[in-house]
Structure formats: structure tokens, C-alpha cells
Amino acid sequence: MAHQKTFIMVKPDGVRRRLVGEVIARFEAKGLTLDRLEMVTPDEETAAVHYAEHRGKDFYFGLVDFVTSGPVVVMQWSGESAVSVARLMMGTTDPAAALPGTIRGDYGLDIQQNIVHGSDSPESAERELGIWFAS
């Protein structure tokens, strides 16, 4: 096991539904450490950079529109195997397939309104943390 940093975002639906505290509480209870937190309303440019890997896919513009539709909470978490631990806690991207007890399984409404985004590898965590916490 390795000490890692990961990026977690509570998306606009999670903020609107007042689930930020619930998300934070779950990661804290698991033993991860919250290192940085900021509430921002993403601009189109930042969203485009964040979702660059999906550019050209039919759902790309929907992702950008959704994440820029309101405030998000961006966070840096750290801990042992933080990336994989966070991914397990979030559940699969599609809430209909996510297990009960996961964030998406308990609170997600559909594949877009699934409450949270989390880095899928240490490399993407580094890239995403650089986008959202530039300084």
C-alpha cells in the first residue's frame, strides 16, 4: 500500500442537494485526510480541460454543461491507497449499478447526476489536482 493523494469533486447536483457534508463525513470516517477544499463555479475552459479525455464523445458537451451549471466542491484527499479507496466508496459511475452503501448507490440519480467525481488513477489525480488547485 502507498500513501497517495486523490482528487474528489462534489458535482453541482450534490451541492444543490446539500450532500457535501455527507460526502466529507464518509471519507473522513474511512480514515482519509482532507488536505484542501474549495467551492467554485467552474468556467467552461476549466471544465473542458478537466474532461479533455472525453472530447469528441457524444456526452462531452453534456458533461461540460452540467459541471458548469452551479457550484462544485473540489477537494484533495490523502491516505493509504487513497485513489482506489475513494473509487470503491463512490461506487460505479452509473448509480443504477452502484452498490448500496456507496455514495453513488445511495444518492446518485442517473449517470450524470451521480454526486461525485473522483480520480481513477494516481496519474489522473495529479493532473486533476493541478487543474483545480493551480497554485
Residue 11, amino acid: K
**pLDDT tens per residue, range 72-130:** 999 999 999 999 999 999 999 999 999 999 999 999 999 989 999 999 999 999 999 99
The single residue of 3, 50, 54, 117 carrying the catalytic annotation is: 117
Q: Which domain holds residue 61?
A: 3-132
User: Catalytic: 117?
Assistant: yes
CATH of the domain at 58: 3.30.70.141
Give the integer Cα–Cα distance in Å for 57 and 8.
23
98/41 Cα distance (integer angstroms) = 27
Q: What is the pLDDT of residue 61?
A: 94
Kindly tell me if the per-residue pLDDT of 1 is higher than 90: no
Q: How many alpha carbons lie under 13 Å from residue 93 in its C-beta half-sphere?
A: 6
Number of domains in the chain: 1
How is the beta sheet containing 3-10 ordered, strand by strand?
Answer: 33-40, 72-80, 3-10, 116-118
Q: What is the pTM of this model?
A: 0.95
